[in-house]
Amino acid sequence: MQVYFIGAGPGDPELITVKGQKIIKKADVIIYAGSLVNPDVLNVAQDGAEIHNSASMTLEEVLEIIESAVAEDKLVARVHTGDPSLYGAIQEQIDALVEKGIDFKIIPGVSSFLATAASLKREYTLPDVSQTMIVTRLEGRTSVPDKEKLHKLAQHNASMAIFLSVHMIEDVVKELAVEYPADTPIAVVQKASWPDEKKVIGTLETIAAKVKKAEIDKTAMIVVGDFLDTEYSRSKLYDKDFSHEYRTSKTGSQ
Ligand code: SAH
């Protein structure tokens, strides 16, 4: 295998997978999404590695580099932020490589919405609060299908992670407030896992002002839902009255 798409993780260079880092160490050619990937992730690259920042490149230019590297029998690492399957514009690269008959593998990464939960020290799926995680964004230059408009998804009052939208925080709040109660907790984490991470927590009523005051206007995750601050039922997994595959009940009931 010569071409690897790699999820670089959310920022902290130790949050890339072992597998992803092994490929970066060996790669002859590295193409990374410079607008978001922490360049420190590439510190382990070999001295002679040819490194390209795709921030200023077109799809065709990226493909050209991959194609000529493969022709020269070189190992290529195409590095995306977080996990490449989310807002990574990876499908068009996959399809082009398939068409050209170039084989590749994808190594997943830690998405920023997961680093956000870690930073906030919260679980998205609390029993009796929400068992559903919605990953979405507000419409920008990329449109969002009508059935997935934020106020429609909000009907579920599920835990939600909203990417690519912090610069429109007022619009986000307006859409959410159609369905979530005004005192619903909401948090914004900028550059989760980076040394200069910032976070603010509030309610739908207070968050927009807090985000402005903290001067957060990009590279931030918005998460909303009662999972942030609520009473909940203890998980059945660790309940002494509940038995499962790996443990029998201490009290006999299921
Ligand atoms: N594939 C990436 C997302 C790329 S889209 C992933 O899985 O995380 C870029 C958006 O991701 C940003 O606008 C922001 O909403 C979010 N993002 C990326 N890195 C982040 C980080 N370290 N902290 C918070 N949000 C981040």
CATH code of the domain containing 169? 3.30.950.10
Assess contact for 5 and 104: CB atoms under 8 A.
yes
Nearest Cα to Cα of residue 130 among 162, 107, 156: 156
71 CA to middle of ligand 1, Å?
A: 33
Do 197 and 94 share a structural domain?
A: no
In the structure encoding, which two tokens stand for residue 16, read together?
A: 């890339």
Outline where DSSP puts E strands in the chain. 3-7, 29-32, 50-53, 76-80, 104-107, 133-137, 159-163, 185-190, 198-203, 220-224
Token duo for residue 175: 């859409």
- Residues ≥6 apart with Cβ < 8 Å to 133: 124, 125, 158, 159, 160, 161
pLDDT at 35: 87
Indicate the top mutation candidate among 221, 222, 223 to test ligand 1's pocket, ranked by most ligand atoms within 8 A of CB.
221
177-190: pLDDT as tens digits:
999 999 999 999 99
pTM, two decimals, is 0.92
Full domain range(s) for residue 155:
112-228
Q: State the CATH number of the domain containing residue 100.
A: 3.40.1010.10
Torsion angle of alpha carbons 37, 171, 122, 206, nearest 10°? 120
Q: Are residues 180 and 97 in the same domain?
A: no
**Which one of 70, 90, 107 terminates a domain?**
107
pLDDT of residue 242: 64
Average pLDDT over residues 112-134: 96
Cα of 88 from ligand 1 centre, angstroms: 10
- 70 in the same domain as 121: no
pLDDT band at 133, cuts 50/70/90?
A: very high
Mean pLDDT of the chain: 93
> Looking at per-residue confidence, does 80 or 34 come out higher?
80
In this prediction, residue 233 carries a pLDDT of 65
pLDDT grade, residue 141 (50/70/90)?
confident
Beta-bridged to residue 222, according to DSSP, are: 162, 188
Measured distance CA(13)–CA(16) in Å, rounded: 6
Average pLDDT over residues 53-73: 95
End-of-domain residue from the set 75, 107, 139: 107
Q: Per-residue confidence at 230, pLDDT binned at 50, 70, 90?
A: confident
**In the structure, what pLDDT confidence band is assigned to residue 140 with cuts at 50, 70 and 90?**
confident
Residue 203: inside a domain, yes or no? Answer: yes
In whole angstroms, give the CA distance from residue 60 to residue 51.
Answer: 17
Q: Which atom of ligand 1 is nearest to the CA of 137?
A: 15
What percent of the chain clears pLDDT 70, i.e. is strictly above it?
91
How many CB atoms sit inside 10 A of residue 72's CB? 9
Ligand 1 atom closest to residue 84's alpha carbon, by position in its atom list: 1
List, for residues 206-220, the tens digit of each pLDDT value: 999 999 999 999 999
Per-residue confidence (pLDDT) for residue 235, from 0 to 100: 67
Q: How many domains does the chain have?
A: 2
Nearest CA to 41 among 81, 5, 4?
A: 81
Question: To test ligand 1's pocket by mutation, which of 12, 36, 167 has the most ligand atoms within 8 angstroms of CB?
Answer: 36
Atom number in ligand 1 closest to CA 163: 15
Considering the domain architecture, whether residues 137 and 218 belong to the same structural domain is answered as: yes
